[in-house]
Amino acid sequence: MDMDVDEASKPKEEKLLLVILVGAPGSGKSTFCEEVMRSSTRPWVRICQDTIGNGKAGNKSQCLSSAAGALKDGKSVFIDRCNLDREQRSGFVELGGAQVDVHAVVLDLPAKLCISRSVKRTGHEGNLQGGKAAAVVNRMLQKKELPKLSEGFSRITFCQTESDVKEAVKTYSALGPLDNLPHGCFGQKSSDAKVQVGIMRFLKKAEVPVDAESRENKNRNITSSQTVEIKDPCHKDMESFSSNLDKANTVSKNVENPAVGCPGTHVDQISKDDAPTLAFPSISTSDFQFNHEKAADVIVEKVAEFSNKLGNARLVFVDLTHGSKILSLVKSKAAQKNIDSRKFFTHVGDITQLYSTGGLRCTVIANAANWRLKPGGGGVNAAIFNAAGPAMESATKERAQSLLPGNAVIVPLTSSSPLFTREGVTHVIHVLGPNMNPQRPNCLNNDYNKGCKILKEAYTSLFEAFASIVRTGAEQKNKRDVDHGSEKSKKYKGAEDNSELNIIDSRVEMVDSSSKKTDGSMNRTWGSWAQALHQMAMHPEKHKNDLLEISEDVVVLNDLYPKAQKHVLVLARTGGLDCLADVRNDHLDLIKKMHAVGLKWAEKFLHENASLVFRLGYHSAPSMRQLHLHVISQDFESKHLKNKKHWNSFNTAFFLDSVNVIQEVSKNGKATLKDDDKLLSMELRCHRCRSAHPNIPRLKSHISSCSSPFPAYLLQNGRLVHAQGEASTSS
C-alpha cells in the first residue's frame, strides 16, 4: 500500500472505490467482480448493464444512477460493462471526488481468447454466445480506446494475460474498508511490444502488412482498429452486430499501442489531451531545516488556492521515501481539506524518473534550487541537473544568474534533454524557499513569520509559473493559438509578430509572485508575457511610456496586437483579481469604474472618427493575468486578427459585455462565465448579419461591405457605443 510510516499509527478514513472494468465480451469482467466480491472484506456492489433492468438489459443512465446510489450508501462499486471507449466511461468517471477514487481495470486479453470464451459459453446474461459472438467481439475490438489517466482516473491497471488478471484480483481482494491503492498507471506493456494481431489471423485469413497509414496512425496514438465510437456496447441489442460479417474481417495491423501515462511509452507517442502535471518536492525542509508542520500547512494552503484555477491540470507532491514526514503531513492535511484527489495527490519516487519507473507522466517538474542556480550539492537539485543534461545549466544561466528566496525561474528543456526524451518533461521550474540552516546563505534565524511569508511566495511563484505554462500551452509539441485577443505588453515590442500566436516563448524566463528582480546581476528581468499586464497594473510608474492613463484604480493601454482599428485595455489595479472569475460583489464599484473609463475612451475615439462603433467586455478565460476590460471597435480591421480563435473570442458568448457583467455581479455576486473551448472553434460568422464564412480572409472581405444592422441583443442595454445616428438602437 502507498502509505507513509507516520500515517500507519493514525486512524484511517474509508475512501470508496469506483472500479470501471474495461474489456470485450469474454475478457472475464464478470468473473473478476465475482472473485473479488467473494473474498473481499470491503463492501462491493456489482453493476451490470446486461441485468440492471429487473434482470434484463438496461442502459447507461440506469447504471449511472445505481452507481451513484451505491456510493451514497457507502459501498464501493464495480461497473461491469464493456466501457471500450472514452465516451462510455465518461459519466462514471465524473462520479469520483474527494471521497471516491476512480480506478480502471483493463482486461486487454487476446482477441482469440475472448472469442473462444464467448462462443463456447451458455446462459450468458446478455445472451452473447454461440456463433454470433465472434463477429461482435471482433467489431468491438476494432473500436477499442484504452483509458488514460487524463480522463479522471486515479489508477489504471492493465492486464494482458490471465496471470495479470489473477494478480489484479488478488490486489483488489486484499483491500479492506480503509485500504487504498497507489495512484498511477500499472502493467502496460513496453513500447517495443506489439498489440495482439487482428482476429483475421485467428480466422485463418491473410494479414495485410504494415504500411504508411499504420505508421501515421501510430503517431496519432491509435491503432488501425480504433476508428469509430460505439454506443452502449454492452446492451443486449449488440447481437445485431452479427450482421454484415464481411465487416468483421477487418484486419488489425501489427503496430505499437502505447497507453498514455504508462511506463514504456515514448514521448512522441504521448496523447496531446493528457492533463498537464507539475511534480514538485518540498522546497524548504531538507537542507533548509524548515519546520515540517509549518511547511505542510503552507503547501496545502497554496495547493487548495491553485488547484481549482488550473483547469484539468494536476499537482503532485513527490518525495523519495515512504517514511517522509513532510509527505505524511501533506497527505493528511490535504485529506482534511477535502482537496480533489484528481487535482492533487502525493507520490513516492525519484522526481527525475516518475514516468519511466512509476508510470506518472509529469510535463513540468520543480527543482528545490540553491541561490546560485548551480548544479551540485545533494538531493533534488543535483538529481535534476544531472538528469536534464548539461544543456540545462547553460539554459538556466541565460535566464538568471542567481535567485532570491520566494522566486521562481522557468527553464524550457531542449528536445535532446534526457528528461524530455525519457520522461516527457518539457520545463523545469527552479524555485528557492526560505532557509533556517545557519550553514547556508540567507538564514532567517528561526524567524518563522518571515519564513512562512517567503515560503508562501515561493509556492505562489511556482504554481503561477506552472499556471502560465498550462494556460498558454507551452509544450512545444502541442503549441496552439489561445491568444483570445493577444494583449501582450508593449514591453515586448521587439518580439517577432508570430510570438503572439505561441503565447509562451521557449525563451521566456521568470515568473514570480511579486514581480521582483531575482538578482541585480541579471542582464535583464521580465515575467512571462502572461504576467506583463499584472506587472503594469501593480507598478505603473515603471511603464509610463506604455500607458495611456494611470489612476488609483485602473490603468489604460493600447493592446499591442489590436484586433481592430481601436483596441484598448482597462486594467484593474487591485491585487488578487487575476480574471473575471475572481470578481465578487465587493468589486462592484471597481468594475463600474472600469466601465466608465472604457466609455470615456470610446467616446474620445468617436470624436476622432464618428463612424466607429465600440463594444466593451471581458474574455471568460483570458490568456493574460490581471482583470482587464476590452474596449474594441467593431470594424475588426487589423492585420493581427488572423484566425478563428481571434474572431470567436470577441464574437461569441466567450466575450461578456461589461454591462451584463455589472448586472450579474450586482444581482448574483459573480458573473456567469462561458469558459468553453468549443466557443472558440465555432464556425466563422459575421457579427452583424450572422452569415457563415469558410476562412478569415473571406470573412474580412464580407465585413468590409456588410451594411446589415447589428443583432438586436447588441443594440439593447448600451452594449454598443456609437455616435448619434451611426447605429440603430432599440429600447
Classify residue 504: in a domain, yes or no.
no
The CATH number given to whatever domain includes residue 600 is: 3.30.428.10
Same domain, 201 and 168: no
Classify residue 730: in a domain, yes or no.
no
Same domain, 92 and 197: no
Classify residue 511: in a domain, yes or no.
no
Nearest CA-CA partner of 535 in 575, 482, 496: 575
Q: 91: burial class by Cβ within 10 Å (0-12, 13-18, 19+)?
A: middle
pLDDT of residue 274: 61
Which residue in the list 235, 619, 628, 722 is annotated as catalytic? Answer: 628
Nine-digit cell string for 328: 505524511
Residue type, 58: G
Sheet of 44-48, strands arranged across: 44-48, 76-80, 16-22, 100-107, 155-159, 184-186
Nine-digit cell string for 22: 474495461
Phi-psi region of 105 (alpha: psi -120 to 50; beta: other; left: phi over 0): beta
Nine-digit cell string for 652: 461569441
Same domain, 286 and 355: yes
Q: Cα separation of 270 and 476, whole Å?
A: 13
Classify residue 628: in a domain, yes or no.
yes
**Residue 715, domain extent:** 528-721
CB atoms within 10 A of CB 86: 16
Same domain, 455 and 534: no
Same domain, 320 and 205: yes
Q: Cα separation of 496 and 517, whole Å?
A: 25
Q: 58: burial class by Cβ within 10 Å (0-12, 13-18, 19+)?
A: buried
**What are residue 21's DSSP bridge partners?**
105
pLDDT of residue 24: 87
Tell me if residue 693 is catalytic.
Answer: no
Tell me which long-range contacts 170-174 makes (C-beta under 8 A, separation of at least 24).
172/19, 172/36, 172/40, 172/105, 173/35, 173/36, 173/39, 173/40, 174/40
Return the residue matching grid coordinates 478514513. 13
Same domain, 133 and 239: no
- Decide which of 189, 205, 240 is a domain's last residue: 189
Structurally, the chain folds into a number of domains equal to 3
E strand residue ranges, 129-241: 155-159, 184-186
pLDDT of residue 520: 33
Same domain, 440 and 418: yes
Same domain, 476 and 337: yes
Same domain, 467 and 581: no
The answer to whether 68 and 75 have CB atoms below 8 angstroms apart is no
Same domain, 141 and 198: no
Return the residue matching grid coordinates 467593431. 634
Classify residue 147: in a domain, yes or no.
yes
Residues of the chain with pLDDT under 70: 1-13, 121-133, 189-274, 377-378, 472-530, 675-676, 724-731
Torsion angle defined by CA atoms of residues 264, 267, 270 and 273, in that order, rounded to the nearest 10 degrees? 140
- Decide which of 164, 189, 214 is a domain's last residue: 189
| Distance from the Cα of residue 196 to its chain's centroid | 31
Q: Cα separation of 427 and 414, whole Å?
A: 9
Cα dist. 421→175, 261, 278, 429 in Å?
Answer: 36, 14, 17, 18
pLDDT of residue 529: 57
The CATH number given to whatever domain includes residue 167 is: 3.40.50.300
Q: Cα separation of 149 and 636, whole Å?
A: 41
The answer to whether 397 and 380 have CB atoms below 8 angstroms apart is no
Classify residue 4: in a domain, yes or no.
no
Find the farthest-apart pair of alpha carbons in the chain and give their distance in angstroms, rounded. 84
The answer to whether 501 and 485 have CB atoms below 8 angstroms apart is no
Return the residue matching grid coordinates 454506443. 231
Classify residue 506: in a domain, yes or no.
no
Classify residue 579: in a domain, yes or no.
yes
Same domain, 598 and 691: yes
Per DSSP, the residues of 619-634 read ESS-SSSS-EEEEEET
Same domain, 201 and 252: yes
Those residues with Cβ within 8 angstroms of residue 195's Cβ, 6 or more apart along the chain or in another chain: 223, 252, 254, 255, 256, 257
The answer to whether 577 and 587 have CB atoms below 8 angstroms apart is yes
pLDDT of residue 421: 84
- Decide which of 451, 476, 497 is a domain's last residue: 497
Helix, coil or strand: residue 202 = helix
The answer to whether 459 and 300 have CB atoms below 8 angstroms apart is no
